[in-house]
Amino acid sequence: MYRTAVIGDRDSIYGFAALGLDTFPVTDPTEAARRLRKLAEGEYAVIYITEALAAALETEIDRYRAERLPAIIPIPGVSGNTGMGIKNVKKSVEQAVGSDIIFNGD
């Protein structure tokens, strides 16, 4: 059975443990990259990662973008929304459809 993980700073992710998700508090991008690789190669189908950390790991995350699993989903941290999530939705739609049908170039 696949599992769900959450990676990010402790303050941003500790609430997800109450939902039964596996939480992995990290702040160092090098440690986060190692953790992400370990989770992605393990039994995790969905990995939520705070937007701030995802920005630092963009190259690492791109390695898994074309793979079926895991789905790596940026979420806002305690510092707020950076807009990375919506940027990734736009990028995925453009890749799937071939043009920007949702945001019309905005």
Residue-wise pLDDT for 70-106, tens only, equals: 999 898 888 766 676 667 667 766 766 776 666 665 5
- Collapse the DSSP code of 44 into the 3-class scheme (helix H, G, I; strand E, B; otherwise coil) and give the result: strand
Asked whether the predicted pLDDT for residue 26 surpasses 70, the reply is: yes
Q: Which distant-in-sequence residues (6+ apart) come within 8 Å of 40 by Cβ? A: 47, 64, 70, 72
User: Residue 79: what pLDDT?
Assistant: 73
Would you kindly state where each structural domain of the chain is located, as residue ranges?
Answer: 3-97
- pLDDT score recorded for residue 56: 92
* The model scores a pTM over 0.85: no
pLDDT for residue 37 is more than 70: yes
The reported pLDDT for the residue numbered 82 is 67
Top-tier CATH class for 3-97: alpha beta
Q: For the chain, where are the E strands, in sequence order? A: 3-8, 22-25, 44-50, 71-75
pLDDT value at position 57? 94
Look at strands 3-8 and 22-25 and give their pairing.
parallel
* Locus of tokens 């440690």: 31
Residue 87 pLDDT:
72
What is the rounded CA–CA span in Å between residue 91 and residue 17? 30
Q: Which of 40, 50, 58 is nearest to 74 (CA)?
A: 50
